[in-house]
Amino acid sequence: MTRKQYCDIFISGGGLAGLMTALSLADKFSNIICCDPNLEFDSDSSGLPQDRRVTALFNSSLDYLANLIPLEALLTDCGKRLSEIEIVEAGGKGKLIQTTSFKSHCIDRTEFGWVIPNENLRKALIAKVLQNPRITTLSKNGVEKVITRTKEAHILLSNGDRVVSRLVIGADGKNSRVRECLGINTNRISLPQSGITFNVRHQLPLSHKSIEIYKSGGPFTIIPLPGEDKYSSNIIWMDSSKNIDIYSHMDSNSFAMEVTKRSLGMVGNIEITSPLLKWSGTYQMANKLSHERAVLIAEAAHNLPPIGAQGLNLTINDIKLLNEQLDKSEDPGDFKVLKDYYSIRYLPTLLKFVGTNFLNLMSFSNILPLKIIRKEGANIFANNRQLQSMLIKFGLGEGLFEVKPFSRKE
C-alpha cells in the first residue's frame, strides 16, 4: 500500500549537496525528507557506490562545513592542506613553456583550503544526517514526478509513495529529475572533449601544491592525495574525446607512460593505482534557479568543468544563501524569498559558469589567438601581485562585488 507524508522541506538527492543542505536546514525546520534512488543511507555507508574523487574545499567552504560535521577530526584523519597552485603552460610538443605560481601567503593565508576524499566527506555527512531526528532519509527511492501549487509541492516517489512539502529542493545532480518536472531548461556548452580521473603514485614528492598543466585538448591537473604520503596524487585529465577514448583503452604500462609524458615529468615517473572514472565534456546551467515552491542547487543548477576546484565550493555558497533567505520567512516556500534567492545567486553562478567554460575552451582550443591569450594572460598575472591576489580571491569565491536582488514588479 502506498503512503502519503507531509514535510517542510523535501530534498531530492543524497549526494554531497543534498546531505549538506539537509543538515544546514535542520536547525530551522523540524520535518525534512531526503531521498535518493541510488543510495542506501546506512550507518556504515556500505551500500554507497565508491567515489574515488577528491575535492579541494576552500577555507570559506570549510568554515561553513564546520557547523555541520566534526571537521577538525575529518581534516586531521584524511585531509591535506593546499597552499600553492601552479599553472603551467605546455607547448604542442609537450614542452614546458611557462609556470605561474599562486601561493596562499600572497593573500596572507597559510593555505587556500584542504583536499578531502569525497568518500570520507560523504560518510561524515551521512553519519550526522542519521543522528538527526529532524531528517528522514528514504533509501533507494527517487523522485518520479513533481507538481507545484501556490501553497505546496506534490511529489510522487519511485515506490509509489507521495509527499506533500512546503518546499522542494532539487539537489539531484546534473540530470535533475526535479528540474525536468518543473520544465526548467538549461544552457549547455558541449565540446568534443571528455575527462578521466584516477589516482597515481609518482617518483618525485608533491606536498601541499596542486599543478594545472594547460595544453591543447584540455587541462591536466595533479592534486596531492590526503595523508602523509607525498608521492600519491589524484589526476584529472581533460582532452579530446578521441584521445581520451584511446588512452582509456591502453594497457596500464602504456597508459602510465602517456600520463608521465602529459605531466611533463613534473612529478617524475608515474604509476596508476586506481581504475579510471570517465565523463563527457557537456556542461550546463539551469535558466532559472527557483520556481513556485521549488529551488535548484548544486549540479542540478550548475555543472561546471572541473577547473580551479569550483563545483562544490559554488554549491556551498548556494546552501549558505538559501539558508540566509529561508531565515527571512516562516514559510520555506515563500514566493519572494525564493525569487530573491534566484536573483541574488544567478549572476555569480553565471560568471563562474562562463569563466570556467572559457578557461576550458582556451585550453581545449588549438586556435593560435586563443593560445596567445592563454599564455599572455598567465604572464600578466605572474608579474602583477595585485592582479594575482584579485584572481585568487575571485577563484576562492570571495567575490569582487555583491549582488543585490532585482526589484520585483508588483
Question: Site residues (CB under 6 A) for ligand FAD?
Answer: 12-18, 35-39, 53, 55-56, 142-143, 171-173, 177, 197, 236, 279, 298-299, 306, 309-313, 315
C-alpha cell at 72: 577538525
Q: 317 or 325, CB closer to ligand FAD?
A: 317
Q: Is the dihedral of CA 106, 109, 115, 118 positive or negative?
A: negative
Q: 41 or 371, CB closer to ligand FAD?
A: 41
Q: 39 or 69, CB closer to ligand FAD?
A: 39
Start-to-end Cα distance in the chain: 45
Cα separations in angstroms, 23 against 14, 17, 38, 200, 245:
11, 10, 20, 34, 40
Nearest approach in angstroms of CB 380 to ligand FAD is 25
Question: Could you write out the DSSP letters of every residue in 298-367?
Answer: HHHHEE--S-TT-HHHHHHHHHHHHHHHHTT-SSTT-HHHHHHHHHHHHHHHHHHHHHHHHHHHHHH---
Exposed/middle/buried for 327, CB within 10 Å: 0-12, 13-18, 19+? exposed
Q: 175 or 203, CB closer to ligand FAD?
A: 175
Nearest approach in angstroms of CB 336 to ligand FAD is 26
Q: 100 or 310, CB closer to ligand FAD?
A: 310
Nearest-5° Cα angle at 338, 165 to 137: 35
Nearest approach in angstroms of CB 281 to ligand FAD is 11
Helix (H, G, I), strand (E, B) or coil at 241: helix
Closest residue to ligand FAD, Cβ-based? 15
Q: 100 or 210, CB closer to ligand FAD?
A: 210
Nearest approach in angstroms of CB 305 to ligand FAD is 9
Q: 168 or 326, CB closer to ligand FAD?
A: 168
Q: 236 or 392, CB closer to ligand FAD?
A: 236
**CA separation for the pair 366, 401 (Å, rounded):** 34
Nearest approach in angstroms of CB 299 to ligand FAD is 4
Q: Which of 180, 198, 216 is nearest to 270 (CA)?
A: 198
Nearest approach in angstroms of CB 221 to ligand FAD is 8
Nearest approach in angstroms of CB 121 to ligand FAD is 9
DSSP state of 49: P
Rounded to 5 degrees, φ, ψ at 268 are 75, -160
C-alpha cell at 409: 514588479
Nearest approach in angstroms of CB 251 to ligand FAD is 23
Q: 195 or 371, CB closer to ligand FAD?
A: 195
Rounded to 5 degrees, φ, ψ at 106 are -60, -30
Q: 142 or 333, CB closer to ligand FAD?
A: 142
Rounded to 5 degrees, φ, ψ at 197 are -130, 145
Neighbours of 338 (CB within 10 A): 23
Element (H, E) at 202: strand 186-202
Element (H, E) at 137: strand 135-139
Nearest approach in angstroms of CB 302 to ligand FAD is 8
- Burial code (b: 16+ CB inside 10 Å, e: under 16) for 1-25 equals eeeebebbbbbbbbbbbbbbbbbbb
Nearest approach in angstroms of CB 404 to ligand FAD is 26
